[in-house]
Structure 1
Amino acid sequence: MSEKSATLIPVLIASSLKPAKDTRAWGKLGLSLRETGQFDLSFMGFSRIPLENCEGERYYASLSVHPSPWERISSQVRFLKVLLKVRPKLLLCCTYEYLPLASFFKSILGYKLVYDVQENYVKNLDLNPTLSPSKKSKLSQIIRQMEKVKEVDLFLLAEKCYVEEMPEKSPFLVLENKFSGEIKRVNPIRFEKKQGYNFLISGTLTPAFGTLEAMTWFKEILKEFPKSRLQIIGHCTLDSYKIALKNACENCPKIELKSCTFPVPHEEILAAYSKVDFAILPYQNREAISNKMPTKLFEAAALGVPVLIAGNPIWLDYLAPFSGGFPIDFFDTDQACKQFNSALKQEFFSQSPTDSILWKSQEAEFISAINSL
């Protein structure tokens, strides 16, 4: 251990199912802490390949294969071993699964405990069509019990709506999933009529996120714009849905599907934005989704890519100041070309988004909250 690292505050940022270099845990929370020069950082998350340690930054695997029940249990053992090895002064849990162990060892190891609430996990159970009512009820009880621990010093809420949805999580700081980077300044965008446009669907691929419906919508667009292309790149955990997506691509070479069991590296998704005319967010109107701000909204706005989006008032209000998108009813395929032609008549990015869409706009408040612990 170098003389410098001996003076730094040891921090462990741990998750079971998220990647060790997760977009939020590593790319936002971790890098913000690293930039202060105060902390010695360790990250725990799943990884299929060994990650290379560097000065002030070490990595530990929670999982290395598909998360089976046995792997989830063994992940707890791995977490405890890492906890005892790192002996952090600050433990940042990015999953409810680690909270019971984190709570139990808090007084023994003497760390401050922060819980990064990335999802409303109980509500999210309604988005999984494979769960029976009895299984949903059991899982919701388990999640509530795990999140009930009293020893959390600070809750980081990834969505503003979690303040009302989870009032018991206090004290809290809202840290939205804003874009970690700088705004790409673009001139106002007006589309000329042409034979084809490039579309992108990225991120998590689930029934509630409307990927299949968007594919059907795109096939209607092809009738008027035959040179169009749709790229789908994302993480799909439901095997049955992955098969449905694959079947929907058959006999349609204009759709390029990359559906992965594990999350796609974020840099690959960001690179895909540079090749498209529109990002598509075809989310269903579901209670677990409607009040949230998808990360893709911040990404597309910062990268200067117009979005075609379900008509959610919260999302449209966010896009309105800089004309960042247009509402589309992806379920009304009869009107697909008519609505898209209306979108083509719009001017996008008539104003440049402000820095309020960036992670750095809330970074100082995050560091201040951590230092206050």
Structure 2
Amino acid sequence: MSEKRILIASLLKPINDTRMYEKLGLSLSKLPQVQVHIAGFKAPPPSAAPSNVYFHPLFQFQRLSLRRAAAQVAYYKLLQELKPSLIIVCTHELLPASHLFCRLHTCRLLYDVQENYALNLTSQDNYLPLLRQLLAFGVSSMENSLARHVAHFLVAERSYLLELRFLKARYTLLENKYKPSAGYICPAVPVQLQEKPLRLLYSGTIARLYGIFDAIALAEKLHQLEPRTTLTIIGYCADRATYQQVLEQVQARPYIDMVGGDRLVPHERIVRSILESNVGLLPYQPHRSTFRCIPTKLYEYAAHALPMVVQHNPIWHTFLQQHQAGISIDFASPDAGRLLLQIRERQFYKPGVPSGVFWDSEEQKLMAVVKQHLPQIS
């Protein structure tokens, strides 16, 4: 039996992206007689990838540029070269080219819906107001018009099931749960921080909306109370102005360290920072584009029994209470003294590491969907 080729593609995510490679890619590489190809933004390929996983770093451009439009040509050339049997598109912009290829060849199309793109565009300040509305209209029109040609939808957030009408009943919820690496060891619980110096962590996308400046402000307050307190910021900042502001604030505070910032950071390096820290910060600013979502780092921190300080949100607060995983506060006006007392007095993760935060359950659902659309695979 000849090998079937599965292409996982994103215009904006790097080829070593956690969801594309570590979750979708590595899971599907376990199927017999399958090659997994990952196309995305230019980044260092993972060094320990299985022999049947291939990387195609096709894209490298600024957010608004002609090279972004030209990337469609490079992508379609890759489709013609690989002739995949199944395409998993992780960015809306690659839907038209993927649909065209599937019309002309024996190939199925899955759409991995990682964000509510139209809502993000209209509610966030990444573009000028008129441009935001035009881009959101274009994205929404594209998704709705091509939805009937998508064989199945993979959906990263439960909230999208209510927000995105084009999903209909052809979807499988694949939440961004944590997939441990081979060296993962289940941490000892409960966790107590009575005497230990606070090693705070902000990981992932560095952005104002995600509360980077609130994290720095809280770290400063806690450092004033306990001078041994440190903060590690690790991740990538796409906005240059924000990056410069963060850099200036970090340089003025020797107890804050930044890893990455103006460059992508491999996920294994982020995991190492989780292991080196004892309090994880989730200072997301209240916003309609993130309010009903579950941050990936919430699963990551819980898997490593890392106590969390989280912006108050009904969904996140329920999770913290259920698993005794952390403390909810208002990052806009934190009571640092009270927070410090709570951190020192509480025992975290007394019920144990939550079993529901791991990717295993999602992998089973993914395999079932892919086998359905690659019937020769057993």
CA distance in 1, matches of 2:43, 2:342: 45
Q: Paired residue for 1:367? A: 367
In structure 2, runs of 5+ residues without a counterpart are 374-378
Aligned pairs (5 A) from 1:283-322: 283-322=284-323
- 1:80-110 deviation digits (Å, cap 9, x = unpaired): 0110011111011011011011112212012
Distance change >3 Å, CA 78–CA 261, structure 1 → 2: farther
Alignment correspondent of 2:188:
186
Offset from partner CA, 1:184-219 (integer Å, 9 cap, x none)? 23121122245x310000000111111101111111
For 2:302 and 2:366, the matched residues in 1 are separated by 23
Separation (CA, whole Å) in 2 of partners of 1:130 and 1:295: 22
1:41 aligned residue = 36
Compare 319-328 and 302-311 and name the one that shifted more.
319-328
Q: What corresponds to 1:263 in structure 2?
A: 264
Task: Tell me what 1:80 maps to.
Answer: 76
Matches within 5 A, 1:36-115: 36-48=31-43, 55-115=51-111
Q: What's the TM-score once normalised by structure 2's chain length?
A: 0.92
Q: Please state how far the C-alpha of 1:24 moved relative to its aligned partner.
A: 0.5
Alpha-carbon distance between aligned partners in 2 of 1:143 and 1:350, rounded to the nearest angstrom: 45
What's the counterpart of residue 28 of structure 1?
23
Q: Kindly, what percent of the aligned residue pairs are identical?
A: 29
How large is the Cα RMSD of the aligned pairs?
1.9
CA shift, 1:220, in A, is 1.0
Q: How much does 1:366 deviate?
A: 1.4
Provide Cα deviations, 1:272-326, integer angstroms capped at 9, x if missing partner: 0111110100011111111101000100011111111011111121232321111
Distance in 2 separating the partners of 1:175 and 1:99 = 19
Q: CA offsets per residue over residues 163-200 of structure 1, 9 Å max, x none?
A: 00102113111000000026623121122245x31000
1:159: how far off?
0.3
Q: CA deviation at 1:132?
A: 2.0
Q: Structure 2: which amino acid aligns with 1:45?
A: G
Matched residue SS, 1:61: strand
Equivalent residue of 2:253, what SS?
A: coil
Q: Distance in 1 between matches of 2:123 and 2:262?
A: 18
For residue 264 of structure 1, give the secondary structure of its aligned residue in structure 2: coil
Q: How does 1:1-373 map to 2 (within 5 A)?
A: 7-48=2-43, 55-126=51-122, 128-148=124-144, 149=146, 150-170=148-168, 171-181=170-180, 184-193=186-195, 196-333=197-334, 335-373=335-373
Alpha-carbon contact 1:14-1:43 (below 8 Å) kept: yes
Provide closer, same or farther for how the CA distance between residues 172 and 39 of structure 1 changes in structure 2, counting only shifts above 3 A.
same
- For residue 74 of structure 1, report the CA deviation from its aligned partner: 2.1
Alpha-carbon distance in 2 for matches of 1:47, 1:175: 25
Corresponding residue of 2:376: none
Instruction: Give the number of equivalent residue pairs.
Output: 366
User: Equivalents in 1 of 2:188, 2:330: separation in Å?
Assistant: 27
Contact 1:183 1:302 (C-alpha < 8 Å) held by counterparts: no
Give how far 1:243 is off. 1.3
Compare 171-180 and 363-372 and name the one that shifted more.
363-372
Alignment-mate amino acid for residue 369 of structure 2: A
Contact 2:235 2:261 in 1 (8 A): yes
Secondary structure of the residue aligned to 1:164 is helix
Distance (Å, rounded) in 1 between the aligned partners of 2:119 and 2:64:
22
Q: State whether residues 51 and 59 of structure 1, in contact with CA within 8 Å, keep that contact through their aligned partners in structure 2.
A: no
Q: How far is the alpha carbon of 1:225 from its aligned partner? A: 0.5
Aligned-residue offset at 1:129: 2.5
Counterpart CA distance in 1 for 2:321 and 2:290 is 20
Runs of 4+ that moved beyond 3 A: 48-55, 64-68
Contact 1:279 1:307 in 2 (8 A): yes
Q: After TM superposition, give the deviation of residue 339 of structure 1 in Å.
A: 2.1
* Mapped contact 2:199–2:279 kept (Cα < 8 A): yes
Moved more, 32-41 or 93-102: 32-41
| Distance in structure 2 (CA, Å) of the matches to 1:114 and 1:220 | 47
